[in-house]
Amino acid sequence: MDAIVVGIDVSKERLDVHVVPGDEAFQVGNDEMGIEELAVRLKRLAPRLVALEATGGYEGVAVATLGGAGLPVVVVNPAQVRSFAQALGKRAKTDTIDAAVIARFVIATNIEARPLADAATRHLADLVARRRQIIAMITAEEGRAKRASERELKKSIARLLAALRRELGNLDGQLDGQIRKSPIWRVKEALLASVPGIGKAIARTLIAELPELGRLSGRQIASLAGLAPFTRQSGKWRGKSFIGGGRTSVRNALFMGALVASRYNPHLKAFRDRLIANGKPKMVAIIAVARKLLTILNAIIRYQTPWQNA
């Protein structure tokens, strides 16, 4: 008998569910009562995997509740699901169709469930994400301040910047408190920050948003972060390789870390310089540094050994 796989399309108001094999389809509300009803119903089916599409947060309660009920849950990338749907020739898009496509996407790609983040890790990730949003707002207001000419407008921007910087300080205090509560996180932060180029902000992003660090191979962790190159070739033709997918916030943090490391980390600076000397474009070299940096961080967490200058 084929293993049961469940695809769930998530919207603000409801969850559209599709079960394969059997093509059973039904809906429940995306609220506490509906999700609890869904958990009970799915536990009776004993599925191999329950897949939900990432929807910017509407899936959060369902993922936590279903995972807490002991169901094997995975959150899939919506762009990959849409590409899969197009490959199947499914141009129509409805919630019911999407749920079926999600289930078939999981079967075709043989995705496996990973342990879900606990409540503390999710809270830390929310704080890290909010800090990122506040920094983006500060950067935008600083840009407006440079362009502003009227006195009243400058005063308005200055007041908002002061409020945003206070909020940033509050968030940093909350993050410090969260890290101090966990001996494991304190050790992880110290290990990650031992690498030149990795500061507290990047270390905390990795702790919160890449909890698999140290538990996967170098290739797997690079793929998860969206730093694994996609090779493009056909016959004798060789196209340029690209990176993409994965966790954007993690990739962006590692990119910033690579920029710093390629200047101040002697090992990674020499690596970048060799690539450029061999004719690699500067951007390609920085991406390679980011990938190598992630491999180093993965090994540091796996073996619990801080960075050592060779």
What digits encode the pLDDT tens for the residues 156-214?
A: 999 999 999 999 999 999 999 998 888 888 999 999 999 998 999 999 999 988 888 88
Cα–Cα dist 67/70, whole Å: 5
Inform me whether the pLDDT recorded for 131 exceeds 60.
Answer: yes
Cα–Cα dist 146/221, whole Å: 40
Tens-place pLDDT, residues 20-57 = 888 888 999 988 888 889 889 998 888 888 988 877 67
pLDDT of residue 274: 94
Which CATH code is given to the segment(s) 5-109?
Answer: 3.30.420.40
Cα–Cα dist 223/232, whole Å: 16
Tens-place pLDDT, residues 67-126 = 878 888 888 878 788 888 777 776 656 656 788 888 888 888 887 777 666 778 888 888
This prediction's pTM? 0.68
What are the structure tokens assigned to 16, written together? 């559209």
Cα–Cα dist 190/210, whole Å: 16
| CB within 8 Å of 304: residues ≥ 6 apart | 187, 191
Q: Parse the chain into domains and list their residue ranges.
A: 5-109, 119-181, 203-303
| Strand blocks (E) in 211-288 | 233-234, 237-238
